Amino acid sequence: MTGAKWTIHILLLLLFLFIFRISLYSIKNYLMENIEELEKSIELTKNLAYYDTLTGLPNYNCFIEYIKESELLESPSGLVMIISLKNLNVINAVYGNEDGNQMLLRTGEELKRFQSDETFIARVSSNEFAIWMRSLNEKYDLEGKILAILNVINQHKETEGTHKIEFYTSYAKLDVTLDTALTCYQNAQIALTYAKYMNSETLVA
């Protein structure tokens, strides 16, 4: 093989390696971009699956998972409290969804003040918020926390302005010898149904 042919072969080989390297770089960039998009898509899907888009609070799915996990932790006591906006459907029908959404946002913001290691708050349906409270020690005052939350939402009811906000509330205490956290939530839902039926603002299961 002549020197000219060797030169052509070497040039072709170098050209091939150059193109191959560029292709690898392009493929790497393509994969990285798609991985980032995939991660964003997974994060978005997770947010949609576990968080309420209006208030930013955890939703029903997230709440149920959380209380199931938290009951595995040692805790002397616990309870589930449910807060339901009485007149949300009426306000949505008469004044529009924007007014109803503002009521939900304000209520959610008020309840967020109570978020802590002992308290987990979620919006579990269109007009209901659920609160899981567990005592990390015997001195933690669950009853006092309930009264504080009721006091806040009652103040909220009086100061909202154009539309009067009223609430149904219920709660059920966790009996670790009989209940799981999930049955505790179900008991609170039953109590809420009775509260609505009896037109009683608060009912204890």
The fraction of the chain above a pLDDT of 70, given in percent, is 59
DSSP type of residue 118: S
Decide: pTM greater than 0.85: no
CA distance 67 to 121: 11
- List C-alpha distances in Å: 63 to 30, 40, 51, 122, 150: 38, 23, 9, 6, 20
C-beta separation of 172 from 188 below 8 A: yes
* Model confidence pLDDT, tens digit, residues 142-186: 667 777 777 776 665 544 455 667 788 888 887 766 677 888 888
Query: Does 111 or 22 have the greater pLDDT score?
Result: 111
* Model confidence pLDDT, tens digit, residues 51-103: 999 999 999 999 998 888 876 666 657 788 899 988 788 888 888 888 888 88
Q: What is the mean pLDDT of the chain?
A: 76
Q: What is the pLDDT of residue 43?
A: 59
C-beta separation of 88 from 100 below 8 A: yes
